[in-house]
Amino acid sequence: MDSKDIALLYEYNRWANDRILDAASELTADQFVKNLPNSHLSVRDTLAHILSAEWIWLMRWQGTSPKTMLNPADFPTVRSLRAKWAEVEREQMDFISEVTDEFLGRVIAYTNTKGEERKYLLQHMMQHVVNHSSYHRGQVVTMLRQLGVEAVDTDFIIFISMKTGMP
């Protein structure tokens, strides 16, 4: 995987996040925070988890090891989530625009939120973030369906079809 592939993955990730946030915008305030059986308690908490993971990994790539994740309660609305997400995505894009193929092969060390030292290749960390976001977006789609919102397709191949105009 090279820097162009990483840039494409993150373009896809932004597209998919936008689609999920658009769908979540159809929820009422009560639906947004309603407890549903899943990895996280609600649509809000799951979206905040995705955002928090994207933020914390970005910080790690930049040499900082935050001790805690973002607090879902800090995001009472989809609009508040979207605003923070826009900041994180701008920083991601700035970082990605500077990443070279050589840099993707570097080992990055960090301390996780449990205080454990970890180190991985940057390219693997970056792939992990998109994979992690995709996993939890799938959970959000399930929760949205349970709340009566029409499912939104966030598959990578759909993104490629839309980007290239190919069926």
- Report the SS3 class of residue 109: strand
pLDDT score, position 167: 78
Contact 43, 32 (CB under 8 A): yes
pLDDT score, position 38: 84
DSSP 8-state code for residue 110? E
Give the span between the Cα atoms of 15 and 156, in whole angstroms: 10
DSSP 8-state code for residue 72? G
Question: What tokens does 82 get?
Answer: 């979207």
DSSP states along 114-147: TS-EEEEEHHHHHHHHHHHHHHHHHHHHHHHHHT
Question: How many CB atoms neighbour CB 117 within 10 A?
Answer: 9
Question: Under 8 Å CB-to-CB from 142, ≥6 apart: which residues?
Answer: 38
With a threshold of 0.85, does the pTM exceed it?
A: yes
Question: Domain 3-164: which CATH class?
Answer: mainly alpha
pLDDT score, position 110: 98
pLDDT averaged per 10 residues in sequence order, the chain, 167 residues? 97 98 97 92 97 99 97 97 98 97 98 98 98 97 96 95 90
Return the domain boundaries, the chain. Answer: 3-164
Give the span between the Cα atoms of 93 and 14, in whole angstroms: 10
Question: What tokens does 20 get?
Answer: 């999920």
Helices (H), 25-117: 29-33, 43-61, 78-98, 101-104
Q: Which of 119, 3, 129 is nearest to 55 (CA)?
A: 129
Scanning the structure block, which residue is given the tokens 């966030």? Answer: 154
Q: For residue 107, list its beta bridge partners.
A: 121
Question: Under 8 Å CB-to-CB from 16, ≥6 apart: which residues?
Answer: 133, 134, 137, 154, 159
pLDDT score, position 166: 87
